[in-house]
A and B are shown apart, each in its own frame.
Chain A
Amino acid sequence: MNDKIGIYICECGPNIADKVDIEKIIQSISQMEDFQDKELIIKQHKLLCSVDGKKFLEEEINTNELTHMVCAACSPRDHDSTFIGVCKKTNLNPYMYQMINIREHCAWVIHDKEKATQKAIRMIHAGMDRVLYQQPLEEKQLDSNPDVLIIGGGIAGMETALSLASKKRKVFIVEKEARLGGKSAILKELLPRQGVNLNILHQKVSDVKGNDNITVFTNTELDSVVGFLGNFEIVLKNNQAENQTTELLAGAVVIANGFDLIDPGTLEKFHYTEEDEVYTAKQIEEMLSENGRISKRNGDIPKSIALVHCVGRPEVGYCSKTCCNYLLKISKMIRDQSSDIEIIDLYKHYCLPHKEDQNFYNAQKSKGIEFIQITDLKLKGNELEIIEISGKKRIVKADLVILAPAMIPAEGSGKLAELLKIEQNYTGFFQEAHLKIDPISTNTDGVFVVGTAHGPCGISESIIQAQAASGKILTQLIPGQKIIPEVMVSEILEAYCTGCQTCLQVCSYGAIYFDEDKGISVVNEAICRGCGNCVGSCPSGSIRTRHFTNPQLFQEVKEALR
């Protein structure tokens, strides 16, 4: 078939027509020497994006049986998808069309009409050259599995499971401990704004256990995972019986492996032994859950209690977000126990980020708690050397000291990151696909992170995040709906690849694997996003990204610079 290139120039009303000489463009293009052997159809239109304009283009493609098309108009941001839509209605493959922006790049920025016209001619010429090297690409459709694997059976994992199961999704929860519930299960009570009562959490554990759509694997961890959105092949391993494995298929994976607490004993400014009356807040919650009250190791009730905020915060480099609030809660529980215990609250900054928190703080303030704002603190047993905000140094003694240690990434997060090919941010918590606008996703499509695995947060936020992941999965992975992977992806040319595996290092999506048998690297097209990183890295030049191949780019640049 002979090449037949349609070139359509949009006037964009006066926007382009007034600022570049369209007649001159047409004349100049029609006389291009390197296109003398090609059949060119060159026309202008008042407004290509209008209903009229789209009909015009459709008829042009059909009646002329175009093999290639170039539209010289506005920014592709505005109307690339419009013209692709027109192509899709015809027999012209959308990848055989090219858009050239002669409005923002010429008409609107160059005041000299002659210069604007010359630039427009060059750009169109470059586009014509590029389009000749373009190749038709076809979308693929892949089947997908709508089931979901959840790693971690704390509140975040359970809520994700319940939300998905209520929509009849099959869910698998992997929990490395013997029981569900995670760390919130040890709490004595919740914050006032959360209704104090813990029943709602216990209820969730029994809801999960009783739900037919949810399968729970306790004492189990993830062993391996390969695949991509819609098609993950998963192997689980029982951590009590090494050789007991389970194989599963799932379409998405949700990480909810929670947090750990920093060990205050490892911190430079905290010196105490097992005998000292120094406890972490978690130990206090456990003590309260078990005995209903706070007491010293010998069973006596302490006369004074010091609460210490931000333990390990300088070391980890972030605020743990929950501890100001739960220390207020602990001071409330102490007051509930007795009005006589002296409470000293040693804080650097009060972090009260939820709208209801200030009320709680004010309520506690009225209960005879001494709040002391400090800039630094050293702990030796039950003795605290503090520097007040005024700069004054003094010693505070208390019968019992409660520490709020920083939340840190759960043990094993690094291994999960590796298995699932996702990133950890500098804090060690998992990294979002985009912190601001895609906070629940990761750089691996189909892998989500919820709850404290994501960063320090409370139960309420963990639940919101769990539902957010469920929302994403319910709208991305629909039973029966095919997955259409990116078309403009990279491919490795078998004949040239030397098997050096440089590309494996640069691909941040984990899209490239090494084929041991053939000794070459291969791109998994379902995962590749077509970013092109690997193309530049390959020492033997054996990778190309479809629709952005070297000949296509060289040709375009060559004409533009001629």
Chain B
Amino acid sequence: MNTSNNVLIIGSGVSGMEACIMLSKAGKKITLVEKLSLIGGKTIKNEETYPNMDCSTCLVAPIQQEILQDPNIDVLTLSTVEEVQGKSGNFKVKINKKARYVDLIACLGCGMCYPPCPVSLKNEWEENLIDKKAIYVPCSGALPNVPVIDAALCLKLNGSEECNKCAEACMFGAINFSETDQIIELNVGAILIATGYDMLDAGKLQNLGYGKFSGVYTSMEFERLFAANGPTEGKLVLRNLESIPQSIAIIHCVGRDLVGYCSNICCTASAKHAHFLHHKLPDANIYNFYTDICLPDKTYQKFHEDVKSHSSEYIYQKDREKMKIQETDNKLQISYLNNEGKDAAITVDMVILENALQPSRGTDQLAEALGVELDQFGFVEAQTFHIGSVVTSKNGIFVAGCIEGPKDIQNSVLQAEAAVAGIISSLDQ
């Protein structure tokens, strides 16, 4: 079988999507595998992207649409790669495609099916800040705009004869309880790993009180709290108190010493967070706690300086490990070592932890299935003898984006574009 025209791309974030579009233009056939029910990756969780505060949806939605409509691109959502055999030019791939229980073509995305569903659970995609039904789309604006049924919790799928509420609500007969998980087998000539990152569990930093104090948020939780399509429709209210924070501390480098590297994006992301806060709460006091500021793009310092002069006070802390957050009277007290090395403290209503980026969950299994090597941190290793590289330890398998190491959107996209050059060369050999 001639597989030289087929490419498998794993992960549909900005890197995976860019590679899809480019390869399709060059006439390749692409299978895009995404483990979630929607494509777009982490960028769609952010309402705006630094430094120009571009609307993320406006950046990404046209690309998502193009991918969903492109006849050269086969999008497999709710899917993971289970097994890969063969070698460059001819890989045999086994994909596990979970049932959605909703027909992608018949469903219009009208949303009539969720309200009647009696089951409620935490919406993980929304960082558990809100509930969802057993039949749900993770957020409004999700693409494909087709719900999925959580098989573990749906009453019907767990034996209840009575519940058929969603199917009754659907005018299009789009719900299909008899759909089953599928194993799909493919032959492809090259593979791109673009599975991105997940955030370090902030609870591991016991001194910072995440999970203990309700006013302590992670950066991604804050992104969702700010988003107009998020759990509070963009209203900045605190988790338990339903009150609006008047003072907020943003803590840099959370978990940096634990993971052993700088996460590259969080100094600029925290400037963005201060900008968001100042925009919605112009009277609030906003503090950024840092040890070093890392601004790795020609445009980032200007953005940082604008935030510093308008939106936030920057406070130096001498030793990250000495910081401690405690709760008293619904307030959060942050004690830290100041620039002179002396004890200092400040009291705020809300804390945002800029926690470290890590390889996306499940990378170990994926790497094993693909037979590629990981680095000491668990990221997919790009081969150093190429110096700047998108080549993994296995011929014909390439890597791009945050699964190779933390980076911002443009550097993820650039790496994907570089991987496309590699893929095209390897296919035609």
B-contacting residues of A (Cβ < 8 Å)? 12-15, 50, 77, 81, 159, 163, 166-167, 190, 193-195, 200, 313, 317-319, 321, 349-359, 389-391, 425-427, 429, 432, 434-440, 455-456, 459-472, 474-476, 478
Q: Are B422 and A436 in contact (CB under 8 A)?
A: no
User: Mask for B375-402, Cβ within 8 A of A = 1, else 0?
Assistant: 1010100001111111000000000000
Asked if B63 is at the interface of the complex by the 8 Å CB criterion, the answer is yes
Q: A475 is contacted by which of B22, B65, B171, B387 (Cβ under 8 Å)?
A: B22
A-B contact pairs, 19 of them (CB 8 A): A159-B388, A166-B425, A321-B296, A352-B262, A359-B260, A390-B341, A426-B302, A432-B410, A439-B414, A460-B387, A463-B387, A463-B388, A464-B418, A465-B418, A468-B415, A468-B417, A470-B421, A471-B418, A475-B23
CB distance from A104 to the nearest CB of B (A): 12
Of B105, B292, B406, most buried by chain A (CB within 10 Å of CB) is: B292
Tell me if B216 is interfacial: C-beta within 8 Å of chain A: no
Query: Considering the chains assembled together, what is the distance between the CA atoms of A438 and B410 in angstroms?
Result: 8
Q: B298 to A190, Cβ gap below 8 A? A: no
A389 adjacent to B413 (CB under 8 Å): no
A467 contacts B418, C-beta separation under 8 Å: yes
B417 touching A471 by the CB < 8 A rule?
A: yes
Q: Which residue of B lies closest to A14 (CB)?
A: B171
Set of chain A residues within 8 Å of B172, measured between Cβ atoms: 13
Q: Chain B residues in contact with chain A, CB under 8 A?
A: 14, 18, 22-23, 25-27, 49, 51-52, 54, 59-61, 63, 65, 69, 105, 108, 110, 171-172, 256, 260-262, 264, 292-302, 305, 316, 318, 339-341, 375, 377, 379, 384-390, 405-406, 409-411, 413-415, 417-422, 424-425, 428
* A478 close to B388 (CB less than 8 A): no
Looking at the complex, which one of A163, A195, A432, A436 makes contact with B385 (CB distance below 8 Å)? A195
Task: Provide the bound-state CA to CA distance between A439 and B409, in Å.
Answer: 10
- In the bound complex, do residue A471 and residue B261 qualify as a contact, i.e. CB atoms below 8 Å apart? no
User: Given the complex of chains A and B, what is the CA–CA distance between A355 and B375 in angstroms?
Assistant: 10
Residues of chain B lying within 8 A (CB to CB) of residue A12: 108
Q: How far is the CA of A186 from the CA of B24 in the complex (A)?
A: 41
Complex contacts, A426 vs chain B, CB 8 Å: 302
From A50, which residue of chain B is reached at the shortest CB distance?
A: B105
Question: Which B residues lie within 8 Å of A472 (CB)?
Answer: 22, 417
- Rounded to whole Å, the gap between the CB of A395 and the closest CB of chain B is 20
Q: Taking CB as reference atom, which chain A residue is nearest B375?
A: A355
CA distance A194 to B425 in the complex (A): 23
A461/B388 in contact, CB under 8 A: yes
B-side contacts of A391, CB under 8 Å: 339-340
Give Cα distance in the complex from A427 to B301, angstroms: 11
Q: Is the CB of A195 within 8 A of B405?
A: no
Asked if residues A319 and B22 are in contact (CB atoms below 8 Å), the reply is: no
Interface residue from B375, B409, B417 paired with A436 (Cβ < 8 Å): B409
What CA separation (Å) do A471 and B390 show in the bound complex?
12
B69 near A468: Cβ-Cβ < 8 Å? no
> 6 closest Cβ contacts across the A-B interface?
A463-B388, A467-B418, A468-B417, A471-B421, A455-B298, A460-B388
With A436-B59, A474-B424 known, 15 other A-B pairs at CB within 8 A are: A81-B69, A166-B425, A318-B301, A321-B297, A351-B293, A352-B261, A355-B261, A355-B262, A355-B375, A435-B51, A436-B410, A439-B411, A463-B386, A464-B411, A466-B418
**Chain A residue, CB-CB nearest to B51:** A435
Is A358 touching B260 in the complex (CB atoms < 8 A)?
A: yes
Closest to A347 in B: B292
With beta carbons under 8 angstroms apart, the residue of B52, B105, B340, B409 that contacts A390 is B340
B22 touches A437 (CB 8 A): no
List the A side residues contacting B318 at CB < 8 Å.
Answer: 389
User: Cα distance A400–B65 when bound, in Å?
Assistant: 59
The smallest beta-carbon distance between B65 and chain A, in angstroms, is: 7
Contact A435 B299 (CB under 8 A): yes
Most A CB contacts (10 A, CB to CB) among B63, B262, B300 go to B262
A422 CB, nearest partner CB in chain B, Å: 15
Set of chain B residues within 8 Å of A469, measured between Cβ atoms: 417
Inter-chain contact A200/B420, CB cutoff 8 Å: no
Whether B387 contacts A440 by the Cβ 8 Å rule is no
A145 and B387 CA atoms in complex are apart in Å by: 31
Q: Are A462 and B413 in contact (CB under 8 A)?
A: no
Q: A464–B383 Cα gap in the complex (Å)?
A: 13
